Amino acid sequence: MLSGKQTRYLRGLGHELNPVVRIGQAGVSAAVLSKTAEELQAHELIKVKLGDGCLEEPLAVGKLLAEGCGAELVQKIGKTLILYRRRKEEPTIELPR
């Protein structure tokens, strides 16, 4: 679990990111979970964009992705999500305590 201070810090870092995962009509599929896990391993902090065709609620999608990838849902604004998962080896983001 992230503290409030850590969440604010990650939201600030996530503001400048471009979406690396896009979710369309198919919703959260095995391929989307796999892609999300790969991007989290590569970047630790990622932005996910839900397309207009996605019929699922953004918060439900965020929780499902976070649970499926072992990540934390940092923020949801409209149809944009920010997810964080600390890399086990050589983490690049140092969270405040």
Please give the model's pTM, rounded to 2 decimal places.
0.94
CA distance 56 to 44: 25
pLDDT confidence of residue 66:
97
Beta strands in 7-50 (DSSP E): 19-23, 45-50
pLDDT confidence of residue 1:
87
pLDDT averaged per 10 residues, the chain (length 97): 95 96 93 96 97 93 96 97 95 93
Domains assigned to the chain? 4-84 (3.30.110.60)
pLDDT confidence of residue 28:
93
pLDDT confidence of residue 16:
94
In the chain, count of helices (H) and strands (E)?
Answer: 3, 4
